[in-house]
A = this chain, B = another copy of it.
Amino acid sequence: MNKNDIKNAGLKITLPRTKILKILETSEKRHMTAEDVYRILLADDEGAIALATVYRVLTQFEAADLVIRHNFESGQAVFELNNNEHHDHMVCMRTGKIVEFHDEIIEQRQREIAKKHGFKLVDHALTLYGEFEESPKMNKQ
């Protein structure tokens, strides 16, 4: 619930933070760069919010586990709201479209592999790169 999330993170409830959180919650794109967020703020806005603030807030949200930061191939960090349902990503190299998926077999295998190597697994990132075929019948994002 929006503002409580901010408060629970030990952060004060300010305009930049509520706006940024709302953008992440309501944007049709689930995966956004700091610039993406900044541009939306510029558009819908009365008082400007600095790009530096967007970065600061996103970084704080990440630290509070409200948001997940991804480093896809683009070189630009991408942020998404953390809904606590772990998932991986398929990234379309043509359109940039991102689709999430989750596969328990893969998850399980990863745990086994880590164990076999004496590796304490903290996190992982699996990203498939390719192209969606024309006339997509499913999923948005």
- A residues touching B (Cβ–Cβ < 8 Å)? 71-73, 75, 90, 92-93, 99, 101, 103, 105-106, 109-110, 113-114, 117-133, 136-139
Contact = CB atoms under 8 A, between A and B. Distances in A.
A-B interface, 3 closest residue pairs, ranked by CB to CB distance from nearest? A122-B130, A123-B129, A118-B133
Of A117, A131, A137, chain B has the most CB atoms within 10 Å of the CB of A117
A129 B122 contact: yes
Given A71-B72, A71-B73, A72-B71, A119 B114 contact: no
A136 B113 contact: no
B117 A113 contact: no
Given A73-B71, A117-B90, A110 B128 contact: yes
